[in-house]
Amino acid sequence: MTGRSIPIAEVITTTLPRSLGLLAAALLIAVVLGSSVGLLAALHRRRRGSLIFLLVSIVGVSVPSFFAAFLLQSVVIRLTRMCGRPFLPVGGFGWDAHMVLPALVLAARPIAQIARITFIKLGEVLEQDFVRTAYSKGLTPHKVLFSHALRNASISILTTTGVSLRFCLCSLPVVEYFFGWPGVGFTLLKTIAHQDDNTTVALLLCLGLLFILVNLILEASYRFIDPRLREPTGALLGQDEGRNPVARLKVSLAALRELVTDNRLAHLLTSLRARRASNQIVTVRKRNSSALGDTDTSASVSTRKRQRVGWIRIRGALGNVPLLVGVILVALLVTIVLFGPRLAPHSPYTTQGLRIVDG
């Protein structure tokens, strides 16, 4: 810290472009890699590798930013020692190779999230009837994929991109602190530590305005991609009702009143109760008829059936790979919760940050 007072405007104009550049690089990497990986997984969704892809994406979303930063720094330092020359800068500021590691750490969770949503939504769109109709008309797979399927799934991908910005903003202070990147996040941690309320509020407002601006751009892109969103409200409710807020309220109240006074729900509940009662009567009759027969034979048969059903359930559970992986992950989390203080005895609040010794 220097002895002179620095104006807040100077702090913002100095640190904000650095963070914006880092965020832009991270989002670009996340969109390109995430959508590409999700696209390839959706095209090969009927193979066994799709399950592995989903598991990897869940792990990617769950990995904390500080752990990913520490892991990448350790790998780069070890490669530098093995090769005898610098592989990548592990810290510091610069619009060159210094951006690679922090941008990758910021993009780690968004890549996994965008890839997972692309895989799920694009897989659903490729199973729709209009895709089969497009193929039957003789369109090429490239045309069907990029002009029809991907365009219908792009709304969900863009929404996930907006959510990914939240991930990046949440991880920004930690990533900038670990890599010594003098941006908004790094300065925000310093101002909080020195109890500089004015600068802290100004930096938080800048991040909030940035998030609002990106969401506005995404909302505008929705209308550009999906023509159905360009229709005015009056086209759905009628011209007069779409323009008059009072008419909209009357239509909503009428729909609510019709839903409340409609007796179809009551008829449906009554029919379900009658069907359940009839099933209970049939079950009682079957039990009474079976009781008239050989009780020992029926008991042995029922015991064997229960044993067979239990064995089938055990085999099904052992063959359910997602269930087994989930059980293993839960067991690991429980182990970390119980034995975490012994595994990591050092306090995270005494971290000294990035220190460069002899280059």
User: At residue 3, does pLDDT exceed 60?
Assistant: no
pLDDT of 146: 81
Distance CA 63, CA 355 (A): 24
Helices (H) and strands (E) in the chain, counts: 15, 0
Contact present, 72 and 105 (Cβ < 8 Å): yes
Range with lowest mean pLDDT among 54-68, 112-126, 176-190: 54-68
- The listed range with the strongest mean pLDDT (46-50, 200-204, 308-312) is 200-204
Give the chain's length. Answer: 359
> Of the spans 106-110, 131-135, 295-299, which averages the highest pLDDT?
106-110
Q: Around 245, how many Cα atoms within 13 Å sit in the side-chain half-sphere?
A: 0
**Model's pTM, two decimal places?**
0.64
Q: Identify the CA nearest to 173 among candidates 159, 158, 161, 191.
A: 191
* HSE value, Cβ hemisphere, 13 Å, CA-based, for 58: 10
Q: What is the pLDDT of residues 36-79, one digit of tens each?
A: 888 888 888 777 666 677 777 777 777 888 888 888 888 888 88
The helix (H) or strand (E) run that includes residue 304 is helix 295-319
What is the Cα–Cα distance from 285 to 278, expressed in whole angstroms? 11
Quick one: tokens of 62? 């769950």
The better pLDDT of the pair 337, 295 is held by 337
Contact predicate 24/172, CB 8 Å: no
As a whole number, mean pLDDT of residues 212-239 equals 68
- C-beta separation of 174 from 69 below 8 A: yes
pLDDT digits (tens, 9 = 90+) for 9-32: 888 899 999 999 999 999 899 989
Count Cβ atoms below 10 Å from residue 184 Cβ, excluding itself: 29
Question: What distances in angstroms separate CA 73 from CA 23, 28, 108, 294, one per listed residue?
Answer: 19, 22, 15, 74
Average pLDDT of the chain, as a whole number: 77
Per-residue pLDDT at 169 = 85
Q: Residue 199: what are its φ and ψ, rounded to 5°?
A: -65, -35
Report percent pLDDT > 70 for the chain: 69
- Mean pLDDT across 141-162: 83
Query: How many CB atoms are located within 10 Å of the residue 63 CB?
Result: 14
Q: What is the DSSP letter of 356?
A: -
Cα 11 to Cα 5: distance, rounded to the nearest angstrom: 11
User: What letter represents residue 347's amino acid?
Assistant: S
